Structures are given as C-alpha cells and as structure tokens.
C-alpha cells in the first residue's frame, strides 16, 4: 500500500486515522455483526451514531440550542435552489458574487424571485473579496448570500459582510471546521462535506430555528423543505448513513486535534509554509490578493502554460496528486484542507524549490 499526498479540492483527503478506524469496523461495527453500510437507519446503533455526530458538531462549533443541524443529500448545489425556496418570502434576495459557486447560487436563485448582485469581484477574475462594509442591501431582501471560501479562486472572507440587519446565509463548503466560527452571526451556514469533513454525498446545514417554517414557496417538494429534515432528525427518508458515520469520526479526530482552535493553528502553519514560499519564489506566484488568501485552497501559476503543465505532470510522478488548477482557471491549485498533514505541504514546497531550480 502506498498513499499519495492528495491536494484535491474535493472529494479530498481524509485523516488516515479515520480511514483506519472505519476499516477496522467495516465488517462488524461494535458487535452488531454488520457494517454501518448494512444497517437500518432506524436501528439503535445508527440512532446512537447520528446523535453522537450531531452532538460532537454542536460541541465543536459551539452551536447554540436555537439552531438546528440538518444532514441532507443533493450536495451543496441543491442548496442553491433550496435556500430561495425556503427563505424567499418577499421574493427578493441579495447575493455577493465572489466566484463560481456564488455565481451558480446567484443564477439558480433567479428562478424564484428578484435577485440582486450587491457586490462582485468578477472584474478581476475573482482574485479578491470586495469591500462589504457598506453594501446597497435591499430593503426587502429576505437574506444576504455569500460563499465564504472560494474553492476555485482561493479567496476567503476574513470579515463577514455588514448585512444591515438582514439574515446572512453562507456556503462554507471549503472552509467547514477549518477555524472557529461564531454561529450566531448566521441565519444559516451550510457545506458539502466532501471538501473538509467526509465522503461526498451530503450537506450539513446549521439553521436558526425560527427561520425553519412551513411558509415556503408554493410547490416546494417535501424533500426540499428544511422543516421536513428538522422535524424528523434528518431521517424523514433514509439519510446517507455511512457518510454521517464518517463525518462523526472526523469530528472526533478534530476534537483530538484540539478542536477548531487547534485546527486553525494547524491550518495557518501549513498555509504559511506555502504562501511564504510563493512570496519569495522567482518562478511561482500566488494569484490572489494577499489579505484575502484562503487557508484551504492555494492557487498559483508560473506564468507559462507549458511550464504549468510540466509541473503538474512531474509533481504527479513524484506522488503529489491533483495539483492541476480548476478547468476554468488553469495553473495549479493546492487544496490543503484539515486532513492534509504538515509534512505534505513541506514536501510539496521542497518539490517546488527543486522544480524552480531546474526550470529557471
Ligand atoms: C464544491 C463546492 C460546491 C458544490 O458542491 P456539490 O456538493 O458538488 O454540489 C458548492 N460550493 C462550494 C464553495 C464548493 O466548494
């Protein structure tokens, strides 16, 4: 067996400890004689898994009692429709467009009402976060929407926008549990778990209880109403049981790593190694404004397409996988999520130094 350093943006690296635990429990989960994959979601064993998973997430994020935790399928992309269907009471919403995912959410919402783009960084290929301290928030906006960490472009909101009293809804897919958050600042935050938490196929949403109502757009399917999940502990239908189990294991791992404070320190250390190198490199350079750099996704280029391709090919041969940038951007991108070990980043930088010497 040989494991590579996997810099994929998602589905992404998981903690090796967690994979080994899952392996050990694969055939017989704690004396049940079956795998979690084979278990009824109505069983006592699974009931304990989902309960513990939610409790651990609440503890990690210090989620107040007046927020619900929902486990849903359909990926982060389904939320682009569910959010307007559940929250557009005035049929108006404000979106801040800082990348492809925010743009997709903005476009999808247009099917359901009047959607205003109140800020954007598209003028400079999403390489920065716009000033959001005094936005033209619409008087009748049902919510203000952001994508907090832009997976493709590598920017992150270091400060949340001033929503002028409107509810903030945030897509945290690629920065979920990467550092402490103040949940009370959000009406809803949500993320696909395949970036920083678990296997693909699930979204976790944290939503303020009073926002979860029956008052949704006409025609909203049962399975797309947050209330359906909230009223049934996310088990109105069969949830993604195995994914919930794996997320639970990752939550426990994060606790052993010192919780979100520990995670932040670990992530800052890794990101600093890579950014410090990029800042002094004569060959490679980062593509985003320094103040807005993401701790999770680090895009960089050589400035020469052929050399970029050579780097991607040679890095792969050396055991660094998935460093190719997003197909819409080109260049390279290293996603250094929670589970990427420090050693992975150190070795990548060593490799980049060597490549620089050979190719300057
Ligand atoms: C990956 C990603 C998505 C899309 O996730 P799916 O689960 O594939 O729908 C949405 N938002 C962000 C920020 C992402 O990184």
The active-site residue out of 101, 142, 253, 270 is 101
CA dist 333 and 299 (Å) reads: 4
Instruction: Per residue of the chain (360 residues), give pLDDT as tens.
Output: 789 999 999 999 999 999 999 999 999 999 999 999 999 999 999 999 999 999 999 999 999 999 999 999 999 999 999 999 999 999 999 999 999 999 999 999 999 999 999 999 999 999 999 999 999 999 999 999 999 999 999 999 999 999 999 999 999 999 999 999 999 999 999 999 999 999 999 999 999 999 999 999 999 999 999 999 999 999 999 999 999 999 999 999 999 999 999 999 999 999 999 999 999 999 999 999 999 999 999 999 999 999 999 999 999 999 999 999 998 788 999 999 999 999 999 999 999 999 999 998
292 is catalytic: no
The class level of CATH for 17-256 reads alpha beta
127 lines ligand 1 (CB under 6 A): no
Distance 73 CA to ligand 1 centre (A): 12
Residue-wise DSSP of 36-104 = GGGS-TTSHHHHHHHHHHHHHHHHHHT--TTEEEEEESSHHHHHHHHHHHHH-SSSEEEEEE-SHHHHH
Q: Is 227 a catalytic residue?
A: no
Quote the pLDDT of residue 43: 98
- Cβ–ligand 1 distance for 101 under 6 Å, the answer yes
261-273 core/surface letters (b: 16 or more CB in 10 A; e: else) = eebbebbeebbeb
Task: Name residue, tokens 């990548």.
Answer: 348
Domain 259-359 indexed as CATH 3.90.1150.10: yes
**Pick from 148, 150, 143, 145: which is nearest to 124 by CA?**
150
Q: Is the dihedral of CA 135, 141, 142, 146 positive or negative?
A: negative
Residue 206 in contact with residue 292, Cβ under 8 Å? no
Task: For residue 100, give the nearest of 129, 130, 122, 116 by alpha carbon.
Answer: 122
Distance CA 307, CA 110 (A): 40
Residue partners of 298: CB distance under 8 A and separation at least 6? 154, 271, 274, 275, 278, 286, 333, 334, 335, 336
Q: Is the peptide bond before 11 cis (omega within 30 degrees of 0)?
A: yes
| Pocket lining: 173 vs ligand 1, CB cutoff 6 Å | yes
Q: Which of 94, 171, 292, 308 is catalytic?
A: 171
Q: How far is CA 345 from CA 65, 200, 340, in A?
A: 38, 24, 8
Which phi-psi region, left, alpha or beta, contains residue 178 (left: φ > 0; alpha: ψ -120 to 50)?
alpha
Report yes or no: 152 and 99 within 8 Å, Cβ to Cβ: yes
Q: State the greatest distance between any 2 C-alpha atoms of the chain, in Å, as a whole number.
A: 63
For residue 171, indicate whether it is catalytic: yes
Give CA–CA dist 64/53, Å, rounded.
16
Q: Tell me the DSSP string of 119-154.
A: EE-GGGTT-S----SS----TT-S-EEEESEETTTT
336 Cα to the center of ligand 1, angstroms: 16
Q: Which of 75, 76, 145 to mutate to test the pocket of ligand 1 (most atoms within 8 A of CB)?
A: 76
Query: Any bridge partners for residue 190, and if so which?
Result: 171, 205
Tokens of 360: 């300057």
Q: What angle do CA 20, 54, 204 make, to 5 degrees?
A: 85
Domain locations along the chain: 17-256, 259-359
The backbone torsions φ and ψ at residue 13, rounded to the nearest 5 degrees and listed phi first, read: -55, 140
């Amino acid at each position: 067996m040989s494991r590579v350093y996997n810099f994929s943006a998602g589905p992404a690296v998981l903690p090796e400890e967690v994979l080994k635990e899952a392996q050990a429990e694969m055939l017989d989960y704690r004396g049940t004689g079956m795998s979690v994959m084979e278990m009824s979601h109505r069983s006592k064993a699974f009931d304990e898994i989902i309960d513990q998973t939610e409790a651990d997430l609440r503890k990690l994020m210090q989620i107040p009692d007046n927020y619900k935790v929902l486990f849903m399928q359909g990926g982060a992309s389904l939320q682009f429709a569910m959010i307007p269907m559940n929250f557009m009471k005035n049929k108006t919403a404000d979106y801040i467009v800082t990348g492809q995912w925010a743009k997709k959410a903005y476009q999808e919402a247009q099917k359901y009402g009047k959607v205003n783009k109140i800020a954007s960084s598209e003028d400079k290929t999403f390489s920065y976060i716009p000033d959001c301290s005094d936005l033209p928030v619409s008087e009748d906006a049902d919510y203000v929407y952001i994508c907090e960490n832009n997976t493709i472009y590598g920017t992150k909101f270091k400060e949340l926008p001033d929503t002028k009293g409107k509810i903030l809804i945030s897509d945290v897919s690629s920065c979920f549990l990467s550092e402490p958050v103040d949940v009370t600042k959000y009406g809803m935050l949500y993320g696909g778990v395949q970036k920083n938490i678990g296997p693909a196929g699930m979204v976790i949403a944290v939503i303020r209880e009073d926002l979860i109502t029956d008052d949704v757009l006409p025609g909203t399917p049962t399975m797309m109403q947050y209330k359906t999940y909230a009223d049934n502990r996310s088990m109105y239908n069969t949830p993604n049981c195995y994914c919930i189990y794996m997320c639970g294991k990752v939550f426990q791992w994060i606790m052993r790593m010192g919780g979100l404070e520990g995670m932040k320190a670990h992530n800052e250390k890794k990101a600093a190694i890579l950014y410090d190198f990029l800042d002094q490199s004569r060959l490679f350079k980062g593509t985003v404004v320094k103040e807005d750099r993401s701790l999770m996704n680090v895009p960089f280029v050589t400035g020469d397409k052929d050399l970029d391709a050579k780097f991607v090919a040679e890095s792969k041969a050396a055991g660094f996988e998935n460093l190719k940038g997003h197909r819409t951007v080109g260049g390279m991108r290293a996603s250094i999520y929670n589970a990427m070990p420090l050693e992975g980043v150190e070795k990548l930088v060593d490799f980049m130094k060597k490549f620089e010497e050979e190719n300057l």
